[in-house]
Amino acid sequence: MGRFTLPRDLYHGKGSLEQLKNLKGKKAVLVLGGGSMKRFGFVDKALGYLKEAGMEVRLIEKVESDPSVETVMAGAAVMREFGPDWIVAMGGGSPIDAAKAMWVFYEYPETTFESIIQPFSFPELRTKAKFCAIPSTSGTATEVTAFSVITDYEKGIKYPLADFNITPDVAIVDPELAETMPPKLTAHTGMDAMTHAVEAYVSTLHCNYTDPLALWAIKLIHNNLKKSYDGDMQAREIMHDAQCLAGMAFSNALLGIVHSMAHKTGAAYTGGHIIHGCANAMYLPKVIQYNAKVPEAAERYAEIARFIGLAGNTTDELVKALVAELRRMNDSLDIPQSIKNYGAGGVKAETSIIDEKEFNNKLSKVAELAVGDACTGSNPRQPSPAEMERLLKAVYYDEEVNF
Ligand code: FE
């Protein structure tokens, strides 16, 4: 038995933000991030449309990037006090992810964070509110997924929460919001989306419903990400759709160990965070080399390579071509190939902000956590802790993976 769950309604294309005026309800909270949506006038627009819908609106602002358990609890308290029947979250992945978790604690105040970190264990939602998500970045696709990533800063761990209960009811994929992304963010979120599509395509849970979405997303991202990075707004618009297609695929096929590694290395080091999309971009080629030791996975990577027009006669040649092409994309987007060249903000640098000694000291612990990550189960090859250590070393030192 398979399950395939998406939002009930998805509005896309320029100006689709206007659909907010057709939501039916009395009260809405609007959950927002750092302030770029306000600066570019989208908050005023959204407020106007929600008022047209006849709703009283309360703002929950300043959700930080990589939202914390504390932010989630504070937002849920505001919701409990105000009593919205719509939760509208607008911005990058963070405010939407945070709002999804707030939703749980709004409807179930007695629930604990510990009790929902187990995948697919959420209580039944929609007893108080429905959820509308409006992304301003082209990457996480959290507007269509069953996932949310919340960071426990005390423990230095990112929890990928997963349950179809938090798949939004309405997604508004309006490319005008994504036009505001700076180039670096465009590159990182775009490679995050590429990783979603590739991992979904080779996942052990991939199926006939997810495969076409993943493949088409890969093609669109391959053809448009660099142009979007260079400021081509036509390509930016296509990327906004492409990342959403990738999200539809991975929400239902799940991911793999590129994400396990990105989750567990993301907040583990004192030098700074390794930005999610940038981590994925660096780790994906290495994980392809590792997974391709499984013949069925190799064949599927070869299918991807053929589909995007890469040259090669054998499966092996096509897998190599895919790895080379992803590395070429990283270079063209000014993304480092490994942690040893990871500078602040995810730019290429001579000296990494992630200290080599600290990395090696924490290697066995991080490897153990990555093996235990919720994304590992659907990876086509199951790594032992020792193999995960070797993979992590390979992504630090940019070594070939041939084990
Ligand atoms: Fe991701």
Q: What are the tens digits of pLDDT across the range 77-97?
A: 999 999 999 999 999 999 999
Q: Average of pLDDT values for 230-236?
A: 97
Cα 238 from Cα 173, distance rounded (Å): 11
Q: How many CA atoms lie within 13 A of 180 on its CB side?
A: 16
Looking at every residue in the chain, the average pLDDT score rounds to: 96
H/E element, 360: helix 356-361
Cβ–Cβ under 8 Å, residues 239 and 225: yes
Cα 180 from Cα 367, distance rounded (Å): 37
Distance 191 CA to ligand 1 centre (A): 9
Distance 373 CA to ligand 1 centre (A): 13
Q: Average of pLDDT values for 13-21?
A: 98
Distance 335 CA to ligand 1 centre (A): 16
Q: Average of pLDDT values for 357-366?
A: 98
**How high is the pLDDT of residue 175?**
97
pLDDT one-digit tens code per residue, 155-182: 877 777 899 999 999 999 999 999 999 9
Cβ–Cβ under 8 Å, residues 334 and 239: no
Distance 352 CA to ligand 1 centre (A): 22
Q: Average of pLDDT values for 110-117?
A: 87
User: What is the phi/psi pair of residue 283, to 5°?
Assistant: -85, -30
Cβ–Cβ under 8 Å, residues 242 and 220: yes
Distance 355 CA to ligand 1 centre (A): 24
Distance 301 CA to ligand 1 centre (A): 19
Q: Average of pLDDT values for 236-243?
A: 98
Cβ atoms < 10 Å from Cβ of 75:
26
List the beta bridge partners of residue 171: 10, 133
Q: Which two tokens stand for residue 400?
A: 């070939």
Cβ–Cβ under 8 Å, residues 298 and 316: yes
pLDDT at 328 over 90: yes
Distance 140 CA to ligand 1 centre (A): 5
Q: Which residues contact 175 (CB under 8 A, 6 or more apart)?
A: 13, 14, 233, 236, 237, 240, 241
Cβ–Cβ under 8 Å, residues 328 and 320: no
Check residue 22 and report its DSSP letter.
Answer: G
pLDDT at 37 over 90: yes
pLDDT range class, residue 16, cuts 50, 70, 90: very high
Distance 360 CA to ligand 1 centre (A): 25
Distance 125 CA to ligand 1 centre (A): 24
Distance 194 CA to ligand 1 centre (A): 9
pTM: 0.95
**How high is the pLDDT of residue 250?**
97
pLDDT range class, residue 115, cuts 50, 70, 90: confident
**How high is the pLDDT of residue 65?**
87
For the chain, the C-alpha Rg in angstroms (whole number) is 20
CA distances from residue 77 to 67, 94, 102, 110 in whole angstroms, order as listed: 16, 18, 8, 12
Distance 250 CA to ligand 1 centre (A): 9
Distance 63 CA to ligand 1 centre (A): 19
Percentage above 70 pLDDT, the chain: 100
**How high is the pLDDT of residue 50?**
98
Percentages of the chain per state (helix, strand, coil), in multiples of 5: 55, 10, 35
Cα 368 from Cα 373, distance rounded (Å): 9
Distance 40 CA to ligand 1 centre (A): 25
Distance 157 CA to ligand 1 centre (A): 15
Distance 192 CA to ligand 1 centre (A): 5
**How high is the pLDDT of residue 347?**
92
Distance 151 CA to ligand 1 centre (A): 14
Amino acid letter, residue 311: A
Amino acid letter, residue 236: R
pLDDT range class, residue 370, cuts 50, 70, 90: very high
Distance 283 CA to ligand 1 centre (A): 12
pLDDT one-digit tens code per residue, 124-159: 999 999 999 999 998 999 999 999 989 888 887 777
Q: Which residues contact 41 (CB under 8 A, 6 or more apart)?
A: none
**How high is the pLDDT of residue 374?**
87
List the beta bridge partners of residue 131: 87
Distance 357 CA to ligand 1 centre (A): 27
pLDDT range class, residue 101, cuts 50, 70, 90: very high
Q: Average of pLDDT values for 274-287?
A: 97
Percentage above 90 pLDDT, the chain: 91
Say which residue, 121 or 173, is predicted with more confidence: 173
Cβ–Cβ under 8 Å, residues 164 and 123: no
pLDDT range class, residue 271, cuts 50, 70, 90: very high
Distance 241 CA to ligand 1 centre (A): 16
